[in-house]
Amino acid sequence: MSAGKFINFEGIDGAGKSTHIAYVAGWLRARGHTVITTREPGGTSLGEKLRELLLHEKMHLETETLLMFAARREHLAQVIEPALARGDWVISDRFTDASFAYQGGGRKLDLRKLIALEQWVHPHLQPDLTLLFDVPLEVARGRLEATRSPDKFEQEKAEFFAATRAAYLRRAEEFPDRFRIIDSTQTIKDIEISLDKVLSTI
Ligand code: TYD
């Protein structure tokens, strides 16, 4: 069995990524892989406490960014790196690309600060595959309105999500080898067909 790989799921709120995590995990398990599914911010007991703060408390942009990376440091040390060292596959609902999209794109934090944090926290590790679920804003917002009460990020205005989506797409252009853009306006069945194609190439 080949060594495990690291896959992150990304997209603006309402893009529908969460629906497909179980599908990808099932696809890999059916092929004999051990798969861990986890999320950011979160994934550890400290990380989940930080998630509560990050999703509900107002704070300075740099505080928010540092806490995202603090949660990530713990997540890497406790969950991601040990799993990959065992040869397991790791699927994370968001990773550092989300910081570039939300704090960098949405909130306009200087990218040099994000690059410095990325270099500090995981200088030698990047996902093997990044699935970017991409939808026009109107579709994403329509889906969000149909769900539960919005968190701090989900309450942001359309311009925030436009900038976040654009930052994700720029990041995909910058790292074409690992990014795959999934057109998330498709039906769930058609998205599964796209995912089958992508997964059979890794
Ligand atoms: P999300 O992954 O969308 O979870 P749920 O589906 O339960 O709402 O929520 C996490 C939020 O955190 C999302 O709005 C994006 C934000 N976030 C950042 O702003 N920066 C980051 O680095 C990460 C990992 C997430």
pLDDT digits (tens, 9 = 90+) for 62-86: 999 999 999 999 999 999 999 999 9
Structure tokens at 138: 């109107």
72 CA closest ligand 1 atom index: 24
Residue-level pLDDT at 149: 83
Mean pLDDT for 34-42 is 98
Range with the poorest average pLDDT among 28-42, 64-78, 143-157, 181-195:
143-157
Percent of the chain whose pLDDT exceeds 70: 99
Kindly indicate the confidence band of residue 1, based on its pLDDT and cuts at 50, 70 and 90. very low
Instruction: Quote the ligand 1 centre to 190 CA distance (angstroms).
Output: 25
Residue 88 CB less than 6 A away from ligand 1: no
Residue 147 CB less than 6 A away from ligand 1: no
User: Which one-letter DSSP state was computed for residue 155?
Assistant: T
Ligand 1 site-directed mutation target among 153, 157, 165, most atoms within 8 Å of CB: 153
17 CA closest ligand 1 atom index: 6
91 burial (CB, 10 Å; 0-12 / 13-18 / 19+) is: buried
Ligand 1 site-directed mutation target among 10, 13, 50, 61, most atoms within 8 Å of CB: 13
Angle formed by the axes of helices 61-75 and 111-121, to 10°?
Answer: 20
Q: Which of 90, 101, 153 is nearest to 126 (CA)?
A: 90
Cα dihedral across residues 70, 73, 74, 75: positive or negative: positive
Residue-level pLDDT at 85: 97
Residue 156 CB less than 6 A away from ligand 1: no
153 CA closest ligand 1 atom index: 14
Residue 18 CB less than 6 A away from ligand 1: yes
Residue-level pLDDT at 146: 77
For 8, list phi and psi in degrees, rounded to 5.
Answer: -115, 145
Instruction: Quote the ligand 1 centre to 192 CA distance (angstroms).
Output: 23
Q: Are 13 and 141 contacting, i.e. CB atoms less than 8 angstroms apart?
A: no
Structure tokens at 80: 């991601």
